[in-house]
Chain A
Amino acid sequence: GQNIDQPTEMTATEGAIVQINCTYQTSGFNGLFWYQQHAGEAPTFLSYNVLDGLEEKGRFSSFLSRSKGYSYLLLKELQMKDSASYLCAVSGGPRGSTLGRLYFGRGTQLTVWP
């Protein structure tokens, strides 16, 4: 089966840096996504990694190591509005599965304190 693991909860203070880790085991791999989801809302796209390395986009960066089945999302200069659930999702699956199918982790609930 497909397994995506990430911590359930994390807390940090405003202005700090936080790293949210995600490990995965999937039978196929076509890239890893990070989404942000506020309570009661749909996920919004943050990043996509398909090659090893770091992708930087403003205050958010995402890293991928395919050999280790590992990714992290790095959030800098934290703001109160960054309090949300962060979902790690892998596009992949066994041969024959639907192209673009995403396997989601349970999400990491980040709380940013003033």
Chain B
Amino acid sequence: GAVVSQHPSWVICKSGTSVKIECRSLDFQATTMFWYRQFPKQSLMLMATSNEGSKATYEQGVEKDKFLINHASLTLSTLTVTSAHPEDSSFYICSARHRVGSYEQYFGPGTRLTVT
């Protein structure tokens, strides 16, 4: 149980285009999903917290107009990187909290984004 999927697993796009990444909780309902970014040999940096049915909470320094997050249902959150630039190339990972009051997070397999 507690499986989280991400799609696509990798994507290459041209500078200036937008890319959408999906995060799904397959066998549980996730009231909260988290979006992380990880650069090579760096740790995970939280970008935003997404709660179903409400606006995402962004971490300081993360542009909300550039990284659009939608959490339309209890099993799906999407991250759209708008007008992508090469510096946005990174490993994007989502996680989902299993239930209210739980501190444990289950991670998706990640999406490798390369912007050329």
Contacts and interface: CB of A to CB of B under 8 A. Distances in A.
Interface residues of A, number: 24
B24 to A, nearest CB: 14
A98 B110 contact: no
Contact of B106 (A30, A45, A91, A105): A45
Contact of B103 (A91, A106, A107, A109): A91
A99 to B, nearest CB: 7
A44 interface: yes
A98 B32 contact: yes
B108 A42 contact: yes
Interface string B89-116: 0010100010001111111111010000
Report whether over half of chain B's contact residues are helix, strand or loop; otherwise say mixed: strand
B46 to A, nearest CB: 7
A104 interface: yes
Closest 9 CB pairs of A and B: A42-B107, A106-B43, A104-B43, A91-B103, A42-B110, A98-B49, A104-B44, A100-B97, A42-B109
Interface of A: 30-31, 33, 35, 40-45, 48, 50, 87, 91, 98-102, 104-107, 109
Interface of B: 32, 34, 41-46, 49, 57, 91, 93, 97, 101-110, 112
